[in-house]
Each structure stands twice: as structure tokens, then as C-alpha cells.
């Protein structure tokens, strides 16, 4: 039985209660230590595979994990049966995300039996949950390594233990978190890069597990962020996306300087990188200075992802979002006034505990009023340890599904209408590559993050081109490459 084994050597249990503490302890900015001498060649002739679930933060963490593994000599593979180490970088935001990971782990058991030397690891948000770690210890004993979101920089040491130990190595800290600089990274794309500007979240929306799995809000120092972006510009990157669970809280934790997200964006604007995006915004901290800076445009694109979650003030209150429907709409009005062609997108949850039909209809009416270009819509999923999990999850599943469908119909109808308005217009596209569906077609994105497909020579990949939209659809825009230089349209 797993429970009778002694894991104390490695096991630092995740604890959701401890994870909730937001102490006065100063955030430390630490430098990534060199890979220990005896681990530098451990991956020679060996291959790694990282399977990433969830948000961009995880995608970017996987780039860091890949960077560390490559410094140890590992090379990448896309095939499970070729891999000497497989890491699942997991997401905990909804139950179905977790189910997928347990499904994959179940499937990988066979491979582990065939290849006992394979190192199988679980990291990311799920590993920060007590219940998940207990389940792994009980029922997935063939997993070799479990590490949390605060422990990525410790990977060389943890892997060393996993390689030489027969027992599961578990290291997850429920701590508030530090900032680790200079971690190696393997960026999977040569055009577009992600840059963390802050970590963690202190908002504690009642449905959300993130503040527990990602620790407290802590910002990277401005000079570290700006230097990283300058370096990316030098390397020829065309686009950066600034990442944080709540980017608008950037700088709130600085004690020595008064420097917030608006100031950072104003400085990033002066760097010679053609496009700058950011995600995700919380409406509460979205201040006037930021709107003013975004309105200067240049490399700051006209797209804002502004999660609303619900259109009902009562539901927003239960969610602890700390704004009302009216305050949200007022923010949207200010943004649209400053940037009339702005594209807004959002996240919405349906079926939150106690949500009535009328309250749901308020969400529908808000969506119609704001006219989002697209929205990520979710059915509420209770997360253990969050305040909402203690509320009665009383909206029946059929009602949740029906609401989701009605909401999606409204969202799609508006998306289609918005795209239709682009028919005949010429837009600027950063060409990313061949379309996934058809290698004869190229695809790329507008400044507003809309996907555009068009026919053109392959040498356009990596460049900015102009495309005339001929066939707008709900999710994508089909168009024709405009070879002659034309005046740029800010779309």
C-alpha cells in the first residue's frame, strides 16, 4: 500500500489552507542557480516530452521546464514511446481538465510497465492540490515525480532524486511564492513570445482555485521585464504577450517604487517590437492611466480580454468579483471612447450556485450590450477548497447546459456580425505559418487577434502582410493577399 511507505524524505504536502495565507513576508527575487555539475549531462542521448494543459501561463512554464531539461542534455520528442521523461503540466481550473490528466496517466501506466526507466512526472496547478497528490500517492504509484508551480527551478535536484530513488518524489510548496529570474527557456515559436510580468493572484474570486495553486500576487521588477522584451526584439520576435493571472495588479506589491501596469505598458511601447498583447485583465484594477496609455496604440494592439464572468450584480457579488454590472459597463464605455475600434473578448461562467433564469438573462443582455468579438464560456465547476464549493451547487446540469448553449448562440451571432463588418477591408496580418487544415493556405493574426486564412507564397511566413477580407466567418476570416503596399488599417 502506498500509504504505508515513508515519503517524508521528499514529501512536502500541498495545503490549501496554508496556500490561502497572504503574509507580510517580502517577495524575494532569486536568480536561477546553475545546473549542478553532476546533472549537466544526465540527459545525454535521452528525450523529453512535456504535455501541457490549460492556460498560457502553463504553456510558458513548459518553455521554462524545457529550457532546464535541455541544459541537462535532453532533446525533445513528440512521441511518448521515444521519451525517457514525460511530464504532464496540468491545469486545475475545472474538473474536466483534471479528468483528462488522470485519463492520460492511466493510459501511460502500460508504457511505464514496458519501460521501467521512463520518468513520469506531474507538475502544474493540479500538483498544488492536496486531494490530487493524495490520489496520486494512493492510486498512481507508478508516477515518479510530482512538483508544484513554485518548484520549477528545483527540477534538476528533484529529477536527480527521482532517477536514483524507487519512491515517488513529491515537492510542492504551499508558500506564497518568490520570483525566480534567469530561468532558461526554450521558446517554441520564433515569432511570438510570452513574457511573465507577474505571478499569482490575490483576488480570491469565490469559484477560482488559482490563488491557491499559484500563490500571492508578485511582480517582476520593471527592468527585468523590459530587458527581456528588448532581448526578444533583438532576436527578431515580432510579438510579445505579457502574462499574469491579473496583469492590472502589476506593481501593487512594489514598496520602493510607484510603478503600475500603465507605466509598464508605456515603457514597453517604446521598445521596437511590432505587437504587444497582454492577458488577463481584471476589470477592478483597470485604471484610467492604463486606458490613456493603450489609446496611444503604436505596438499596443486594440484588443482587450476583459473577463466579466456574469452580467448580474448579485451573482458578481457572490463571486466576489468586487464590481457591479454598471461599473463594468462604465469601464467598457471609457475604453470604447478612448479606443473606438477596440476588440473586446471575455470569459463567462454559467450556472454559478443560485443563478436564476433572470440573472442568467442579465448575462445575455450584457453580452449584447458590450458586443464582444468572442467569449470563452464555461459551465461552473466546483473546486475543492474554494468558498463557492461550500455553496449549494443547485442549478441542475441540464439547465447549465441549456444556458451555455443559449449564451453561445448569442456570442456566435455577435462574433459573426462583427466579422461580417470586415468584409472588403484590408487588414494587417502577421503570418504564422501554413493553415492547420490546408498546407496550401497561410494563416496569421490581425492586431486584434483574429485568425486570417489566405493563399500566398511560403516566404511570407514570419512577415507582416496585408490581406483583403473576402469571406468572413464566425471564427476565422478568409481573404486575399494584397501584394501592393497599402495604407495600414488598425485592425
User: How far apart (Å, rounded) are the C-alpha atoms in residues 159 and 153?
Assistant: 11
Question: Nearest-CA neighbor of 388 among 310, 438, 332, 319?
Answer: 319
Q: Of 120-128, 156-164, 373-381, 449-457, which part binds ligand 5AD (CB under 6 A)? A: 373-381
Which residues of 227-373 form beta strands (DSSP E)?
A: 239-243, 275-279, 303-305, 343-350
Phi first, then psi: what are they for 274, rounded to 5°? -65, -35
Query: Cβ of residue 208: shortest distance to ligand SF4, in angstroms?
Result: 3
Q: Of 77-85, 199-207, 234-242, 426-434, which part binds ligand SF4 (CB under 6 A)? A: 199-207
Query: Cβ of residue 288: shortest distance to ligand SF4, in angstroms?
Result: 20
Contacted by 201, from ligand 5AD, ligand SF4, none: CB < 5 to 8 Å by type? ligand SF4
Phi first, then psi: what are they for 14, rounded to 5°? -70, 145
Question: Nearest-CA neighbor of 386 among 126, 20, 127?
Answer: 20
Letters for 244-283 (x = contact with ligand SF4 by CB under 6 A, - = none) are -xx-----------------------------------x-
Nearer to ligand SF4, 245 or 443 (CB): 245
Question: Which residues, 79 to 108, sit near ligand 5AD by CB under 6 A?
Answer: 93-94
- 123 known ligand binder: no
Catalogue the long-range contacts made by 483-488 (C-beta closer than 8 Å, 24 or more residues apart).
486/426, 488/428
Q: Residue from 201, 430, 431, 452 that binds ligand SF4 (CB under 6 A)?
A: 201
Spell 235-252 as b/e; 16+ CB within 10 A means b: eebbbbbbbbbbbbbbbe
Residue 1: all three cell numbers together: 500500500
Asked if 210 touches ligand SF4 (CB under 6 A), the answer is yes
Question: Nearest-CA neighbor of 121 among 71, 51, 34, 45?
Answer: 51
Query: Cβ of residue 83: shortest distance to ligand 5AD, in angstroms?
Result: 29
Contacted by 93, from ligand 5AD, ligand SF4, none: CB < 5 to 8 Å by type? ligand 5AD
Q: Of 18-26, 219-227, 379-387, 418-426, which part binds ligand 5AD (CB under 6 A)? A: 379-387
3-state secondary structure 312-352: CHHHHHHCCCCCCHHHHHHHHHHHHHHCCCCEEEEEEEECC
The binding site for ligand 5AD (CB under 6 A) comprises: 93-94, 207-208, 307, 309, 347, 349, 378, 380-381, 383
The binding site for ligand SF4 (CB under 6 A) comprises: 201, 203-205, 208, 210-211, 245-246, 282
Amino acid at each position: 500500500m502506498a500509504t504505508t511507505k515513508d515519503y517524508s524524505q521528499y514529501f512536502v504536502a500541498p495545503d490549501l489552507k496554508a496556500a490561502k495565507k497572504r503574509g507580510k513576508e517580502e517577495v524575494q527575487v532569486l536568480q536561477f542557480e546553475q545546473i549542478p555539475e553532476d546533472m549537466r549531462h544526465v540527459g545525454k542521448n535521452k528525450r523529453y516530452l512535456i504535455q501541457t494543459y490549460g492556460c498560457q501561463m502553463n504553456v510558458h512554464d513548459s518553455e521554462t521546464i524545457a529550457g532546464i531539461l535541455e541544459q541537462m542534455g535532453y532533446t525533445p520528442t513528440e512521441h511518448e514511446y521515444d521519451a525517457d521523461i514525460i511530464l504532464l503540466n496540468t491545469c486545475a481550473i475545472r474538473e474536466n481538465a483534471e479528468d483528462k490528466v488522470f485519463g492520460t496517466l492511466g493510459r501511460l501506466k502500460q508504457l511505464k510497465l514496458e519501460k521501467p526507466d521512463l520518468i513520469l512526472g506531474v507538475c502544474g496547478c493540479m500538483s498544488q492540490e492536496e486531494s490530487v497528490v493524495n490520489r496520486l500517492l494512493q492510486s498512481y504509484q507508478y508516477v515518479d515525480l510530482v512538483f508544484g508551480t513554485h518548484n520549477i527551478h528545483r527540477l534538476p535536484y528533484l529529477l536527480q532524486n527521482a532517477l536514483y530513488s524507487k519512491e515517488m518524489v513529491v515537492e510542492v510548496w504551499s508558500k506564497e511564492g518568490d520570483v525566480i529570474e534567469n530561468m532558461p527557456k526554450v521558446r517554441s515559436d520564433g515569432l511570438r513570445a510570452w513574457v511573465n510580468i507577474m505571478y499569482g493572484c490575490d483576488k480570491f474570486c469565490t469559484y477560482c482555485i488559482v490563488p491557491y495553486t499559484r500563490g500571492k500576487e508578485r511582480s517582476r521588477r520593471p527592468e527585468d521585464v523590459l530587458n527581456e522584451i528588448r532581448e526578444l526584439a533583438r532576436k527578431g520576435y515580432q510579438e510579445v504577450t505579457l502574462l499574469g493571472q491579473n496583469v492590472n495588479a502589476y506593481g501593487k506589491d512594489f514598496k520602493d517604487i510607484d510603478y503600475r501596469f500603465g507605466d509598464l505598458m508605456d515603457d514597453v511601447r517604446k521598445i521596437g517590437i511590432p505587437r504587444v498583447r497582454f492577458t488577463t485583465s481584471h476589470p477592478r484594477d483597470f485604471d484610467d492611466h492604463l486606458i490613456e496609455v493603450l489609446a496611444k496604440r503604436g505596438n499596443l494592439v486594440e484588443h482587450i480580454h476583459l473577463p466579466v464572468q456574469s452580467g448580474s450584480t448579485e451573482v458578481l457579488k457572490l463571486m466576489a468579483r468586487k464590481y457591479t454590472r454598471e461599473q463594468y459597463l462604465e469601464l467598457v464605455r471609457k475604453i470604447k471612447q478612448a479606443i473606438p475600434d477596440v476588440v473586446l473578448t471575455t470569459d463567462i461562467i454559467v450556472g454559478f450556485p443560485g443563478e436564476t433564469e433572470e440573472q442568467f438573462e442579465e448575462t445575455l443582455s450584457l453580452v449584447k450590450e458590450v458586443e464582444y468579438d468572442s467569449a470563452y464560456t464555461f459551465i461552473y465547476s466546483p473546486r475543492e477548497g474554494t468558498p463557492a464549493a461550500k455553496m449549494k451547487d443547485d442549478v441542475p446540469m441540464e439547465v447549465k447546459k441549456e444556458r451555455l448553449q443559449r449564451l453561445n448562440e448569442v456570442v456566435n451571432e455577435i462574433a459573426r456580425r462583427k466579422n461580417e463588418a470586415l468584409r472588403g477591408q484590408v487588414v494587417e496580418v502577421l503570418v504564422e505559418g501554413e493553415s492547420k487544415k490546408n498546407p496550401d493556405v497561410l494563416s496569421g493574426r490581425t492586431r486584434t487577434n483574429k485568425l486570417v486564412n489566405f493563399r500566398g507564397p511560403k516566404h511570407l511566413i514570419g512577415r507582416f502582410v496585408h490581406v483583403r477580407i473576402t469571406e468572413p466567418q464566425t471564427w476565422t476570416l478568409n481573404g486575399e493577399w494584397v501584394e501592393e503596399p497599402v495604407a495600414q488599417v488598425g485592425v
